[in-house]
Every structure is written in C-alpha cells, then in structure tokens.
C-alpha cells in the first residue's frame, strides 16, 4: 500500500500537467492516442538517455558545468527534440502552432514522470520531497517542452525556408540553455538556493503561459470558430 501511494504521488504531477496542457488547446483538441504515444516515447527514452549520460560522465568527468549543460541538458533535450522532429513534425495532426507545445510537453512529461518514479523508488521520499519535485523538475521539464514545442510550431508554419531553419534551431537551443541554467543553479548554489530557483521558475512559468496564449492565438481554427459563432 505504501509503494502504491508513493508511485501515485510520483506519477500524479506529470499526468496533471499533461491534462492541463491538453485542455489549454482551445480550438481543435488533438487525438488522445497520439498524445499518449508521445508521452510513452518520453518514458522509453529514459534508458538510452541514462546510457549516453553514463558514457559521457566516464569520458568528460562530472564537473558542475559539464554535468549541467552536457550530461543533463544537451543529452536530454536533444533526444527529446530528435524524437519530436522525426515522429510528429510532419504528422498530419500537427496542424496548428499549439500542437507543437502539446506534443513536446508530452515527451518531456513522459521522461519526467519515469524519472520521478525512479527517484521515489530508489531514494527515501517524503510527501514534501515529492511535492518539491512536482514544483521543480517535473514542471521544469514541462516548461522546457513548452519552449521547444512553441518554436517547433513556428518552424512548421514559417513562411520561408530560412525562418524554418532558424526556428528549428531555437526549438533545441532555448530549452537546452534553460535546462542547463536550471541544473547549474541547483548544483552550484549551495546555500539558500531556493531564493534563486523560485524566481527562475516563476519567470519560466510566466514566459511559458505567454507562449501558450500566443500559440493559441495563431491557430488557423480560431477564425473558423469565430465564423461559426457569428453564424449561430
């Protein structure tokens, strides 16, 4: 019973955030089976990421900067971006800018959820520590996914090839940098780190919500919905 409670507490934040992001799609809800598929892919990518990270740790060492930006941010964000680009970027259901946010967040939350479960099983965890992980790593991964997906959506619907390439580059570079700085704060600020990470997360949430609203506002289905409202 205790194990079940721990697992439920570890899984709940990722599912809750994914549900929230799914419901924010105002104009055309995505097929749930595709969202679940991307979430599962995020879960499955945990093992290859761990293998690559271990190899890089042996090769490059485990210094604070290297661990933050290479072992963690670069490996995790690149593999998530790679899957997103090759599986969903050209999919017919990716038909409005917000879809990029939802699918990228799905992969990120799949990864974060399994990571949270492994932490809960192998590390003595209290309700407080699991709550802290829900507020920090899990929501952090979700927001890195929001940034990735927002610019992937801009790339998908860009008017020129040059802009497409630019936005594709940003869709990896921005979450990579945000993730790296997030880890760097946690690893390098030994005392009173909470006074640094909390403003960082508040700013990231505000930025992420702005990106969600912006992506929804650019939906081609927004005009269709308005026309239907006028006719009715």
How much is the average pLDDT of 198-220? 93
pLDDT in tens, 124-152: 655 555 566 666 889 999 999 999 999 99
% pLDDT > 70, the chain: 89
pLDDT at 38 over 60: yes
Predicted local distance difference test score (pLDDT) of residue 132: 67
Instruction: Please choose, from the candidates 196, 31, 193, 166, the residue with its C-alpha nearest in 3D space to the C-alpha of residue 102.
Output: 31
pLDDT band for 229, please (50, 70, 90 cuts): very low
Q: Is the pTM of this model over 0.95?
A: no
Predicted local distance difference test score (pLDDT) of residue 32: 93
How much is the average pLDDT of 109-129? 78
pLDDT at 76 over 90: yes
Whether the Cβ atoms of residue 88 and residue 41 lie closer than 8 Å to each other: no
pLDDT at 75 over 50: yes
pLDDT in tens, 91-102: 999 989 999 999
pLDDT at 63 over 80: yes
Whether the Cβ atoms of residue 77 and residue 172 lie closer than 8 Å to each other: yes
Name which residue leads in pLDDT, 6 or 68. 68
Q: 190: which 2 tokens?
A: 């030994």
Whether the Cβ atoms of residue 138 and residue 112 lie closer than 8 Å to each other: yes
């Amino acid at each position: 019973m205790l194990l079940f409670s721990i697992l439920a507490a570890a899984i709940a934040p990722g599912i809750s955030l994914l549900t929230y992001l799914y419901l924010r799609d105002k104009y055309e809800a995505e097929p749930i089976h595709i969202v679940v598929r991307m979430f599962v892919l995020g879960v499955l990518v945990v093992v290859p990421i761990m293998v690559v990270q271990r190899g890089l740790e042996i090769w490059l060492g485990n210094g604070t900067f290297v661990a933050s930006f290479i072992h963690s941010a670069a490996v995790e964000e690149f593999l998530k971006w790679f899957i997103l680009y090759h599986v969903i970027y050209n999919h017919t259901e990716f038909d409005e800018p917000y879809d990029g946010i939802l699918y990228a967040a799905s992969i990120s939350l799949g990864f974060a959820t399994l990571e949270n479960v492994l932490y809960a099983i192998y590390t003595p965890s209290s309700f407080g520590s699991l709550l802290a992980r829900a507020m920090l790593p899990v929501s952090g991964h979700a927001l890195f996914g929001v940034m990735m997906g927002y610019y992937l959506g801009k790339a998908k619907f860009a008017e020129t090839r040059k802009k497409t390439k630019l936005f594709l580059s940003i869709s990896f570079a921005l979450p990579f940098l945000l993730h790296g700085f997030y880890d760097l704060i946690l690893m390098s600020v030994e005392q009173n780190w909470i006074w640094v990470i909390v403003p960082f997360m508040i700013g990231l949430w505000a930025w992420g919500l702005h990106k969600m609203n912006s992506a929804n506002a650019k939906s081609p289905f927004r005009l269709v919905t308005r026309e239907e409202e006028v006719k009715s």
